[in-house]
Structure 1
Amino acid sequence: MQFGSICMVLSHRINRTRNDNQVEPLVEKFYLYWGLAVRALNEQLESDNVPHSDWAMAGVLALLFADIQHGVSLNWRCHLDGLYRLIELRGGFKAIVRSIRLTPLLFVLWPTVVIANTTCPASDITSEFDELQDLLEQLNIEESPLQACPSPLFAEIIKINQLRGVASQRNHSLLDDISQQAYKLLDRIDEFSPKLWIKSKAQSKEDWLLVAEVYQASIRIYCILSLQSLRVLPKSRSLRTRCLDDNHLLHDALSKGLSRLRTSRLLLWPLVVLGVEAAHGDLTIRQFVSSQLQAVSRNLGIYLPLLALQVLDSFWQSGAKSWDACFDKPYAFTTQIAVDCSRLQH
């Protein structure tokens, strides 16, 4: 765990440093400690000690986030697979969710898994659905200070991911049913009220209202574009109009949200969604997304927004417009960089 945390710190310093001469030794240190972290994890995994296995899970999460934020490889999926195996050895997700010690780890794991499943090929979505539905009932995701998306909308992201996974199997007999589910899903997104949701917030209501509006618009765009990509939803004029309306709403809201210290680190994924929508020809929005991704990278000291810009820029230049044409590999556009180990035993 310690070495994984050092990797995250070094990655942060690398991405805040603009001097190439200073970056090279930091990169060497990053890979040195990355290797030490992997070795230490292997030693913990060989132990039958339960507290050690708790720390092993935390260590894998730390490496997962270090690789995601460093942005130089897709090793994070290997860490995720390893984490799933550890969870299975501990009795599966339902057993883990009952562990008070491990709840903070789930708070950071599941938003990452869900968001990562939005920006990967539909055929490569990780298996999450049965377990996550149970988790949503047992965990109050909004207890986590790192979870920006309102839980009712978070649940809809999971369901969109599920529809994408089913639709990718190309079973035409299911298409009508999936399409009906998609329209019902859009209705639920429309029915969500940010103003009612913020009543549960004790403070910073204006900021939370903005965040809720951003996620509502971005999830609606994600739903339409990703399911049109799989021919679950038609490319109709009415749905294009809805995307255009959300495009303008999202642009205005992100302009405000990204300029605020409290909310700027919570909005990377919606910014990526806006970038995908910008493939429909809005050069002004593309310029906005490009400049803001660079600013987020610089301000947070993480490489991931620059990776997102590379992915989007390649997508824009290709002339393609469908969601799945943008993400040919699995990406996890999350700004999560910390693992809460406060409840773990030593």
Structure 2
Amino acid sequence: MPIPGFPPVNTATTDHAPRHKKWAPRSRSGCFTCRTGRVKCDEAKPVCGRCVRLGKHCSGYGVVMPTRTTSNVLIAPKTVEARPSHPPGICIEAEPPSWDHMQAIRFCTDHVLHFLPAQSAHLPQPSAPRFDTWSHMPVFLICSMVTQQLQWASAARGRVLRPGEDPAFAGTWAKYFGYYRKLLGVTNACIENGGPGKYRALFCIFGLFCMDIKADEPLWQAHLNGAFAYVDKMGGLEALLQFPPSFSGYVLKDLKHVLLQVRGLDFFTDADMMTIIKSGTVIQPPLPVDIFISIARFTQLRIAAVTGSIPETDISDAAQTQLATLNALDPEAWAAEHGLGDYPLVAATGRIFQAATQLYVALTLGRVQGLVHGMLPALQKRLVTLLDAIWNNIRNHGTLLWPLIVAGVAAAGGSEEDRAFVAQCFHTGSRSRNLFVEFSRCGSKLEQIWADQVTDWDDCFKEPFVCMV
């Protein structure tokens, strides 16, 4: 009995093989790539414009596409495919980008930029990098992002990760060292080729140096020495200033960090150091240049006093002259002169660095006759008081890392309260995901100094120690 609402079924037809609809493209014109994808073709000759825009291979117009029968047997084409002739210099098939490079860009834009150390209101805020410029190097970006992941993983676990300690990070460390080798290869190739590659070479050397600092690797001294040697080979600071801004800004920023902490005093004059400190992207609170020059000069006098290369009377006279220049600085007046009077943290940071430099002189040159003799406790108390006044108000604690180290060395022979305050500051700074390795490294160094009860600066730092952030 037929079902109501439906026409009767012809049983004679259904007893035989079912009817199969033959496959056909959406349109019967256009290139066969578009016909296979069942999209509209613009029918440009000899190559379809749609395929060129999408980076696809255009199959042309001279072949009949095969069809399928009910037995899934391909029917032979009636004509032979005619290869399209492409204009020279046009890549029809786009090369797929590196998966690691794409993931590095995503990680940088989605995560890293949101967790950069906050800058003060008077400083330029972090901005997204450009990935479409000629200065962009995918290998360098991948290395930076893998290093960042390792640093964040260390911060989450409260200890600096080392290769081979945790099996969960075996793959990450393998990728780190793999791209580390690739970046070394790019660096060597740029050095050998010369020309525009010289810009990338120095950029890569400082990139390797920063990777060593972030991952707490021991090769940072070798790469730093290589960077100074390469700068000298290219013609010194004058040649460096002729670099494209995208490269010179990065290199000058790192030179500013390490110039007065590790090396550079034998390579650059006062004028060169002033140029380096004043140039580049501002990432530290602006300070009077005379403070940095004073630190460099006192470091030179400290080395001369240890080696005995200069008579003690000459050291005393030079130190007294430099101390007079340092004591005459007025951070409030300097901030107002440079249009920063509305930012009290700028002047406060200037006073902290001024007090830290004075304490540095007392720690390193206190044995020289006539120099801040007996003033160490008072200078130490003043620096701790200044740090305590702004520590909870400053947004980027990494800017005060060097004064904290000076206060920590002085606290080795001071009170328990001062050591507790410095330790608490390092604990607070290590809470930052981006500064964990630096603060942990410096905090561990000070704990070792306190345990050994060492008060002499040269005994505390028998080897170069970098506190770069």
Which structure is higher in helix share? Answer: 1
The residue number in structure 1 matching 2:5 is none
Question: What is the TM-score with the length of structure 1 in the denominator?
Answer: 0.82
1:6-155 to 2 correspondences below 5 Å: 6-18=145-157, 25-50=171-196, 52-71=197-216, 73-99=217-243, 101=245, 102-117=247-262, 126-129=263-266, 131-138=268-275, 141=278, 144-148=281-285, 149-155=287-293
Higher-RCO chain (CA-CA 8 Å, sequence separation at least 6): 1
Q: Residue 318 of structure 1: CA displacement?
A: 1.4
Corresponding residue to 1:177 among 314, 326, 331:
314
Asked which structure has the greater CA Rg, the reply is 2
Distance in 1 between the 2:389 and 2:407 partners? 15
Question: What is the TM-score with the length of structure 2 in the denominator?
Answer: 0.62
Distance in 2 between the 1:190 and 1:312 partners? 28
The residue number in structure 2 matching 1:190 is 327
Q: Is 1:232 matched with 2:368?
A: yes
Distance in 2 between the 1:313 and 1:46 partners? 44
Distance in 2 between the 1:282 and 1:6 partners? 42
Q: Is 1:272 matched with 2:405?
A: yes
Residue by residue over 1:273-328, the C-alpha shift from the partner in whole angstroms, topping out at 9 and shown as x without a partner, is 10001011311111111122122122143312111122111111112211111112
Distance in 2 between the 1:312 and 1:295 partners? 15
Structure 2 residue identity aligned to 1:240? G
Matched residue of 1:17: which SS?
A: helix
Residue by residue over 1:85-137, the C-alpha shift from the partner in whole angstroms, topping out at 9 and shown as x without a partner, is 221231122332354635413431332223423xxxxxxxx352462412245
The residue number in structure 1 matching 2:7 is none
With over 3 angstroms needed to count, the CA separation of the structure-2 counterparts of 1:290 and 1:196, relative to structure 1, is same
The residue number in structure 2 matching 1:330 is 464
Residue by residue over 1:29-49, the C-alpha shift from the partner in whole angstroms, topping out at 9 and shown as x without a partner, is 433333332233222222223
The residue number in structure 2 matching 1:284 is 417
Q: Please tell me whether the aligned partners of residues 291 and 326 of structure 2 are also in contact (alpha carbons under 8 angstroms).
A: yes
Which range is displaced more, 127-136 or 290-299? Answer: 127-136
Structure 2 stretches lacking a partner, 5+ long: 1-139, 159-165
Distance in 2 between the 1:180 and 1:281 partners? 29
Q: Residue 252 of structure 1: CA displacement?
A: 2.5
Structure 2 residue identity aligned to 1:167? A
Q: Please tell me whether the aligned partners of residues 362 and 373 of structure 2 are also in contact (alpha carbons under 8 angstroms).
A: yes
Percent identical among aligned pairs is 21
With over 3 angstroms needed to count, the CA separation of the structure-2 counterparts of 1:39 and 1:140, relative to structure 1, is closer
Q: Please tell me whether the aligned partners of residues 221 and 273 of structure 1 are also in contact (alpha carbons under 8 angstroms).
A: yes
Structure 1 stretches lacking a partner, 5+ long: 118-125, 336-346
Q: What is the aligned length?
A: 319
Matched residue of 2:268: which SS?
A: helix
Residue by residue over 1:7-30, the C-alpha shift from the partner in whole angstroms, topping out at 9 and shown as x without a partner, is 442343233322867656544443
Q: Residue 5 of structure 1: CA displacement?
A: 2.0
Structure 1 residue identity aligned to 2:303? G
Q: Please tell me whether the aligned partners of residues 335 and 341 of structure 2 are also in contact (alpha carbons under 8 angstroms).
A: no
Structure 2 residue identity aligned to 1:248? K
The residue number in structure 1 matching 2:125 is none
Residue by residue over 1:230-270, the C-alpha shift from the partner in whole angstroms, topping out at 9 and shown as x without a partner, is x4356x7x5333x3233223223222433235342211111
Q: Please tell me whether the aligned partners of residues 251 and 285 of structure 1 are also in contact (alpha carbons under 8 angstroms).
A: yes
With over 3 angstroms needed to count, the CA separation of the structure-2 counterparts of 1:106 and 1:165, relative to structure 1, is farther
Q: Is 1:259 matched with 2:392?
A: yes
Distance in 2 between the 1:48 and 1:288 partners? 51
Q: Please tell me whether the aligned partners of residues 274 and 289 of structure 1 are also in contact (alpha carbons under 8 angstroms).
A: yes
Q: Please tell me whether the aligned partners of residues 3 and 37 of structure 1 are also in contact (alpha carbons under 8 angstroms).
A: no
Q: Please tell me whether the aligned partners of residues 214 and 437 of structure 2 are also in contact (alpha carbons under 8 angstroms).
A: yes
Matched residue of 1:267: which SS?
A: helix
Distance in 1 between the 2:147 and 2:317 partners? 43
With over 3 angstroms needed to count, the CA separation of the structure-2 counterparts of 1:288 and 1:100, relative to structure 1, is same
Q: Is 1:220 matched with 2:339?
A: no
Distance in 1 between the 2:447 and 2:190 partners? 41
Q: Residue 139 of structure 1: CA displacement?
A: 5.1
Structure 2 residue identity aligned to 1:265? G
1:294-305 to 2 correspondences below 5 Å: 294-301=427-434, 302-305=436-439
Corresponding residue to 2:440 among 303, 306, 311:
306
Distance in 2 between the 1:24 and 1:256 partners? 44
Which range is displaced more, 139-148 or 314-323? Answer: 139-148
Cα root mean square deviation, aligned: 2.6
